[in-house]
A and B are shown apart, each in its own frame.
Chain A
Amino acid sequence: MKETSDKYGPKAFGFQTSCRTVNEDCYIFQKFARVGFKTNNVDNCARICHGPSVAGLSLSFGSGAATNGFEDALNSDFILVWGSNALEAHPLAGRRLVQAKLKGIPIYAVDPRLSTTAKIADKWIQFNPSTHIALANSMMYWIIKADKHDKKFIEERVNGFEELKATVEKYADAEDSHGVPLETVKELAYKYASAKSAVIIYCLGVTELTTGTDNVRSMGNLALLTGNVGRPGTGVNPLRGQNNVQGACDMGAYPNMYSGYQKCEIAENRAKMEKAWGVTGLPDWYGQTLTEQINICGDEIKTMYILGLNPVVTYPDSNHVKRQLEKLDFLVVQDIFFTETCQYADVILPGACFAEKDGTFTSGERRINRVRKATNPPGKAKEDIWIISELAKKMGLKGFDLPTAKDVWDDMRNCTPSMFGATYEKLEKPESIVWPCPTLEHCGTPILHCEKFACADGKGNLFGIEYRPPAEVADAEYPFTMMTGRLIFHYHSRTQTDRSAALHYEVPASYVQINNEDARRLGIGQHEKILITSRRGKTETIAHVTDEIGPGVLYMTMHFNEGVNNLTNTVLDPMSKMPELKHCAVKVEKIGGN
């Protein structure tokens, strides 16, 4: 790594960390990248799940995080679940939905697919994949038309109403785009707007598209238009993809921000961090994001350090990822298991799992939860902060004498105003601490934006946003739309879950959901093995013939090697650099052609 540094400089590095590992690992990892190699090419996998939430909610509300806690859904009068299959992908957040349902709170689920979550909802609103903006704009047209918007809230606390109003004028009837009958759009719009307190809970169905940031801003628009922010039972809540997506971002494993979302481009911030870390020359430039780093392997990037990620399976266009990793001069992979990506590594560092180290995870409701070491890492494996500290010390870096997780956490607190008050002692309570928590006396902030928004002028922002189709839509050659998602039985690339006999038994291999009409037309039987091809690659998988998905649409989960990510598209959302994982065009063929 020293050689790369001397020969090519800071931009020759790529650092990527998992959102499954503790805050302390994420913090020390980005500190190592920035202090040791003066690079901002450091990112985490929130980029490919909730990067658009950070970008979109920052623009709408001034803070890129969920506004209210999970349990707060029980204080709602109406719950709008949008592009989230919480029961499978986030079962504990899903538990709050079930509790809400048992309490009699109406739940409407907006999803192109009759997901497990849509099945427990009071109403399933089926819409065409990736048409969120068209549907949200239609809803807002009818809310304004029926005079159900919150005029007092808008006047006092919100910018941009006229711009929004002008834009949604064009969406009175957008059924051609989103596919939802007008009466249903009106019903949904009126229910959401009329509820005393309504919450939007959304997930990757909204974010993993080239319009991801704008989709998130559309969720913000709905909430601001109806005054559903800053009170119990309201808000806009992304269910963060992994257990520490919030934390990995909070810790500054981000190409343009230090911990607590302090931007690197601001000279004052750099000077502060240089002082705190005892270095000079921290970079001001915007680093390369997760999949951008992959795209320039071998060109600008010569050395990559991957902590707890398995890009060969989880990033879009697996064939491309493999070709790119092969171009690197040097690849370090730090993980708890030998993953598919380890096959491309020059050095593999065996790290520790959550039960083998102390630390903290920050959940999607901004709650900082302690985890405690129960056992030593097996064999030659080491705690991850130990590995990184030792590397730093070998390179002669100062500021890495941080032997315990608490030392790392305190190092972070000292340069992070929004978390300064969240000491390990205060995390001992079962409720723990929800950041922002700026002072030692502060008890944390479960609900954001109560009196003012976190934007510079204290106001929330409505935006007039036009609907745009995805980058690659179905055509004559590739007539199907492929969507992706997750299963309850597996976690991401199955590095952990496929080692469980019960989970392997439930779902040992990939499958695709295909509409019965489509299957009948193509002569595909239940559980028949079929070939799916996109412009980038192909995969063989098992057909699950069902009416739970609309005609022309397919659904596969992202967990399997040589699976759906052989097909997916690397094209990015310009605002958040999110690849379009949820939408690409494919064709379906019987195997053997009979």
Chain B
Amino acid sequence: MSTFIQKYLDGAKNMKVGVVVKGCDLMSMIELGKRNEINMNNVLTIGVNCGGSVNPIQARKMIKEKFGVDPDKVTKEEIDKGQFIIEYEGGHKGIKIDELEEEGYGRRSNCRRCKYKIPRQADLACGNWGVIGDKAGKATFIEICSDKGADIVSKAVSAKKLDTCAAEPKGIEIRGKTEGAMLKLGEKWRKKEFTALRDNLWDFIKKETSRYIKCYSCIEKCPVCISTPFVERPESYMVRPGYIPSDPMFHLRRFASISDSCVNCGQCEELCPVEIPLALISHAIRVEGDNAYVPKLGAAPYKN
């Protein structure tokens, strides 16, 4: 989403854009804003709570194999109370996320580690977490997070496009609990996956990147990795053009470049034709870096 605005809408430099964002979309846009690649003044962001996303092909497979339901019959899916729930013609069914993920189904692996569930750095932070009682399924929670957000809501109300009411305390409590439960789950995955890297990190990186074929997807789609021009680029003494698997510095320089900015959106890994867990590596570097050093581009407004 962020690279779409950057590349195809000219970074919203000459137009106003309203956009619905998950946490990773918003973090990516904030990072591109810092680099003057997107003019965030022209962007109105409507955040939604997100418990993680499922690759659509994997989701259809999971629905067929684990739920025993024809994916074409499914009308709605959501992640709630630790379950992946589907609604379909003639019923609904939920299976525990933990159980699905143990078996290799479930959310994208970067989503499992995510700890930015309600994007409060957006102008509005919406979503269904905390919408209870007769409003469940019909209304959205709105947290107003900026003046821009307040303005759009009041204009929408006066234009009679939106009905609002105060959030019920019980709803606020449930929203907080749901968020807390998801954060806890994110921490659990983080601990599990990062700890597993601790003892053999170099070997792991070497082994995984040895398959690298320089398809450039991880660079093209990364919201925080911006290449210098290729035309008249000075000679590199460590990365020979045209050679695959690439020389090791090809990876090291990319990890270094995005070290304080990787938002763990997972696009690099999703698109990698040789299945290198790139997001896992760069996310680990970011988390450890944030933990130990003062960030170069100033503290990020989000926490992940």
Contact = CB atoms under 8 A, between A and B. Distances in A.
Interface in B243-296: 244-245, 273-275
Interface stretch (A42-50, A61-69, A86-94, A572-580): A86-94
Interface in A476-528: 487-489, 501-502, 504-507, 511
A91 B57 contact: no
A120 B242 contact: no
Contacts of A91: 213, 215, 273-274
A232 B42 CA distance: 53
Q: Size range of the interface on B? A: 20 to 34
Contact of A502 (B60, B72, B213, B216): B216
A504 B215 CA distance: 13
Contacts of B202: none
Contact of A102 (B60, B233, B275): B275
Interface string A80-107: 0000000110011011001100100000
Contacts of B237: none
Contact of A87 (B72, B213, B231, B233): B213
Contacts of A98: 211, 273-275
Nearest to A94: B273
B201 to A, nearest CB: 19
Given A87-B213, A488-B213, A507 B241 contact: yes
Interface in A423-468: 429-431
A539 interface: no
Interface string B204-247: 00000001011110000000000101110100000001101100
Interface in B49-63: 56-57, 60
Contacts of B242: 487, 489, 506-507, 511
A511 B72 CA distance: 50
A502 B230 contact: yes
A94 to B, nearest CB: 6
B273 A95 contact: yes
A102 B272 CA distance: 14
Contacts, number: 57
Contact of B244 (A88, A102, A511): A88
Contacts of B215: 91, 488
Given A429-B72, A489-B242, A501-B229, A116 B213 contact: yes
A504 B230 CA distance: 8
A91 B218 CA distance: 14
A211 B245 CA distance: 32
Given A488-B215, A506-B242, A94 B227 contact: no
A102 B213 CA distance: 16
Give the residue among A91, A430, A506 with the most B Cβ atoms within 10 A. A506
A376 B233 CA distance: 34
A398 interface: no
A430 B244 contact: no
A119 interface: yes
Nearest to A542: B242
A94 B212 CA distance: 12
Nearest to B244: A116
Q: Size range of the interface on A? A: 20 to 34
Contacts of A502: 216, 227, 230
B241 A88 contact: no
Contact of B231 (A487, A501, A511): A501
Contacts of A102: 275
Contacts of B273: 87, 91-92, 94-95, 98
B24 to A, nearest CB: 23
A430 B216 contact: no
Given A95-B274, A430-B57, A505 B245 contact: no
Interface in B163-219: 211, 213-216
A492 B131 CA distance: 55
Nearest to A117: B213
A106 B275 CA distance: 17
B14 to A, nearest CB: 19
Nearest to A120: B211
A92 B274 CA distance: 9
A95 B57 CA distance: 15
A563 to B, nearest CB: 15
A98 B275 CA distance: 7
Give the residue among B57, B215, B216, B242 with the most A Cβ atoms within 10 A. B242
Contacts of A431: 60
A506 B233 contact: no
A91 B244 CA distance: 13
A119 B245 contact: yes
Contact of A99 (B57, B227, B233, B275): B275
Interface in A148-197: none
A312 B56 CA distance: 42
A243 B254 CA distance: 31
Given A95-B275, A506-B241, A506-B242, A430 B230 contact: no
A94 B274 contact: yes
Given A488-B244, A502-B227, A88 B216 contact: no
A501 B231 CA distance: 7
B65 to A, nearest CB: 14
A407 to B, nearest CB: 26
Contacts of A504: 230
A94 B216 CA distance: 16
B230 A87 contact: no
Contacts of A119: 245
A470 to B, nearest CB: 28
Contacts of B230: 501-502, 504-505
B233 A505 contact: yes
A98 B269 CA distance: 14
B56 A430 contact: yes
A116 B57 CA distance: 28
A503 to B, nearest CB: 8
A502 B220 CA distance: 10
A116 B242 CA distance: 12
B214 A87 contact: no
A476 to B, nearest CB: 33
Interface in B25-80: 56-57, 60, 72
B129 to A, nearest CB: 28
A506 B214 contact: yes
Contacts of B211: 87, 98, 120
Interface of B: 56-57, 60, 72, 211, 213-216, 227, 229-231, 233, 241-242, 244-245, 273-275
The 6 A-B residue pairs whose C-beta atoms are closest, nearest first, are A505-B230, A501-B230, A91-B273, A507-B242, A95-B273, A506-B241
5 contacts: A87-B274, A92-B273, A120-B211, A430-B57, A488-B215
